[in-house]
Chains A and B, each alone.
Chain A
Amino acid sequence: MTPLDFVVSLALISVAAGVLGSLIGLGGGVVIVPLLTLVYHVDIRLAIGASIVSVIATSSGAAAAYVRERMTNLRAGMFLEIATTTGAVSGAYLTTVLPTRFLFVFFGVVLAYSSFTTFRRRHADQPLTVSHDRIANYFNLHGSYYDAVEQREIPYKVVGTKPGLALMYVAGLVSALLGIGSGALKVPAMDSAMHLPMKVSSATSNFMIGVTAAASAGVYFIRGQIDPIIAAPVAAGVLLGATLGARVLGRVTSKTVRIVFVVVLVVISLEMLQKGIFP
């Protein structure tokens, strides 16, 4: 395979990763990392660097549309970034201290559990109308979005800010430590713990993952993990895919988004368990 074949094929697959990532609020690392290591036989460190680029590309590409369409909860997103960025910075410095294999097993189990809780909520998807959460009320993290499928404005209240913040800290930590799974914990944190509607959780996760990834991207750049010939097709392809994917979220039901998310979460969880148990 010549460099041209590599660039063109990787760009095409990255378009698909961008569409999937923008729809369910993940960064596409779930596609990019195994693809680069298993199919293209690229060093894992460079694959993780490419995954960070993919996360930022998905986030900026999709969020530009979601923010304009009022699908994102800007206040909740920016508030929760307190926890994700601090998590990401602490994670970048814990990499050398913590045993990676143990982390993969641990987060594999955590994600398996959150895919279960996300799946369980598939019939009870009603937004809350009352919130007694003092933090959410003080910062007015509640919101409303227009659902194009149900053809109505859907207001919702936010609860569980404290467990939400805790999960977001762990989400920042895991994305910096393992290079994958940045959105995998953010969506369940907003959906299950804070009761944001599924589509808003996905759009807000998209909005946030770019900032979480940027907080550890400096380290990856200096360590020489961002190889231009891998990063270029990934960035360009994912950006195109995320821009296209952002047109889909408005038109599908929350339940579809939830089911696709759960399936991908199970795959990520198995990927992590495999890395931890049979590295």
Chain B
Amino acid sequence: MRHPNLPAGVPERPPYDQPPVEALGRSGGRVLSPEEAAVMAEKVRKVEVAISLVLRTGVVVSVLVIATGLGLMFAHHSAYLPVSGHFSYHQLTSRSTPFPHSFSALGRSIARGQGRGIIVLGVLILILTPVLRVAVGVLSFVYEKDPPMALVTLFVLAVLIGSFFLAGV
């Protein structure tokens, strides 16, 4: 069944790249002309690809860093490795377990090549990925010439960055 609102010339199943005209548009509620809508569709698609790329890159980089850290941790501590033995994981997951939770401690840990420091670095990259995604969102709405949405996203970015400062990072 063909959707009645699909503009003429748009194939039935565009491979994810052509939203119908009515789904496009900026803030303000003005209806776009078909030419504007075509330009907008292309811009929206580029934005989607860019945001997807930021998320995917963040995820891949963080997993690689975490895996490296995990590998180093096991390489440095042969006691962790056996499948059966007396060494319990509880020694690493109690509240008194030492691990870096400030930037200076993290820097020292990484400088010494400690696996746990590198894992924490990977986790921080993972935490920063959504923040970077919001920053790309601000640029996207500027690119789509949509100031109200750009301001909305800028506000979200400000709150996020503020949250890190409030935390005393």
User: Residues on A close to B: CB < 8 A?
Assistant: 1-7, 40-43, 45-46, 53, 56-57, 59-61, 63-65, 67-70, 74-75, 78-79, 81-82, 85-86, 88-89, 92-93, 137-140, 142-144, 146, 151-155, 210-211, 213-219, 221-233, 235-236, 239, 243
Contact = CB atoms under 8 A, between A and B. Distances in A.
The 8 closest A-B pairs by CB, nearest first: A218-B167, A6-B89, A144-B23, A228-B119, A210-B130, A224-B101, A3-B80, A64-B55
Contact of A214 (B59, B116, B131): B131
A69 B159 contact: no
Interface string B52-82: 1001101100110011011001100100111
26 contacts: A2-B87, A2-B89, A3-B77, A3-B92, A56-B126, A57-B126, A61-B59, A64-B56, A67-B51, A69-B16, A78-B137, A139-B152, A140-B25, A143-B23, A151-B13, A152-B2, A216-B163, A217-B127, A221-B127, A228-B99, A228-B117, A228-B119, A232-B69, A235-B63, A236-B67, A236-B70
Nearest to A52: B127
B27 interface: yes
A209 to B, nearest CB: 9
B82 A230 contact: no
A4 B69 CA distance: 14
Interface residues of B, number: 84
Given A4-B74, A74-B48, A78-B153, A235 B123 contact: yes
Interface in B98-127: 99, 101-102, 115-117, 119-120, 122-124, 126-127
Interface of B: 1-3, 5-6, 13, 16, 19-20, 22-23, 25-29, 47-49, 51-52, 55-56, 58-59, 62-63, 66-67, 69-70, 73-74, 77, 80-85, 87-90, 92-95, 97, 99, 101-102, 115-117, 119-120, 122-124, 126-131, 133-134, 137, 148-149, 152-153, 155-156, 159-160, 162-164, 166-169
Contacts of A67: 48, 51-52, 55
B97 to A, nearest CB: 6
Given A85-B163, A214-B131, 9 more contacts: A2-B88, A56-B130, A78-B156, A82-B152, A143-B23, A221-B167, A225-B101, A228-B120, A232-B123
B4 to A, nearest CB: 10
A43 B88 contact: no
Nearest to A156: B23
